[in-house]
Amino acid sequence: MVVVPAGSFLMGSPPSERGHRPEEGPLQRVTVAKAFAMGRYEVTFAQWDACVAEGGCAHAPQDRGWGRGNMPVIYVTWRDARDYAKWLGQLTGHPYRLPSEAEWEYAARAGSAAPYWWGGEVGVDRANCDRCGRSSSRQPTPVGSFTANPFGLFDVHGNVWEWAADCWNGSLAGAPADGSAWTTGQCELRVLRGGAWGLEPANTRSARRFAGKADARSGKQGFRVAMTLP
């Protein structure tokens, strides 16, 4: 886990941003008044398998032959991810949870207003997505394979989509201004952030929002955890 400092940012993207989609607006000023902790990496198969072995997680996801261990866990639903956070909290005595999408975007940006934390262009070999590197993106990569952002978070662009706590809303109008999770809207759908392997760079921008069915499983979907600090 890394401590993400308190701060303020503009959530979403302006219409002028390349790849901008209607659901990424209007821009909202969000103030995260209190520091929180967030997983340095996406949750791995090794961590998930430990939860299964201890009886905290009921689903044993496949890995499509890509390997387990330090690979990001995939084929987990929003409810699976929530159950993992609950188990981890019971195990450690700390308040683990899924991040809100505002917390996720704030942490991913790490102070940047650009499409990616490092700037306006995807560059080469900075993330696992289609046409983002010297080799084809045909599967996830082990967590931490690319450079961390200034807050110390790895793989916030690409690799696997990451579940957030929020219900889906088709725009940012009316989104909580304090960084908390949006608990009203289309709650059978939940927010996914960060894009994934095999997707074009525009789908991995910091502002990109995606609606996923809460009970859906995909080889492109995983998550990372957050934790409320005292």
Beta bridge partners of 120: none
Query: Rounded to two decimals, what is the model's pTM?
Result: 0.97
pLDDT at position 135, please?
80
Q: Are 45 and 68 in contact (CB under 8 A)?
A: yes
The pLDDT tens digits for 161-218 are 999 999 999 999 999 999 999 999 999 999 999 999 999 999 999 999 999 999 999 9
Residue where the block lists tokens 């996914």: 192
Question: What are the structural domains of the chain?
Answer: 2-228 (3.90.1580.10)
Query: How confident is residue 137, by pLDDT bands cut at 50, 70 and 90?
Result: confident
Share of the chain above pLDDT 90, in %: 98
List helix spans (H) across 77-209: 78-92, 101-109
Q: Are 203 and 129 in contact (CB under 8 A)?
A: yes
**Cα–Cα distance measured from residue 130 to residue 135, given in angstroms and rounded to the nearest whole number:** 9
The pLDDT tens digits for 40-84 are 999 999 999 999 999 999 999 999 999 999 999 999 999 999 999
- Do the bridges between strand 186-193 and strand 161-168 make them parallel or antiparallel, or are there none, so unpaired? antiparallel
Average pLDDT, the chain: 97
Q: Are 152 and 5 in contact (CB under 8 A)?
A: no
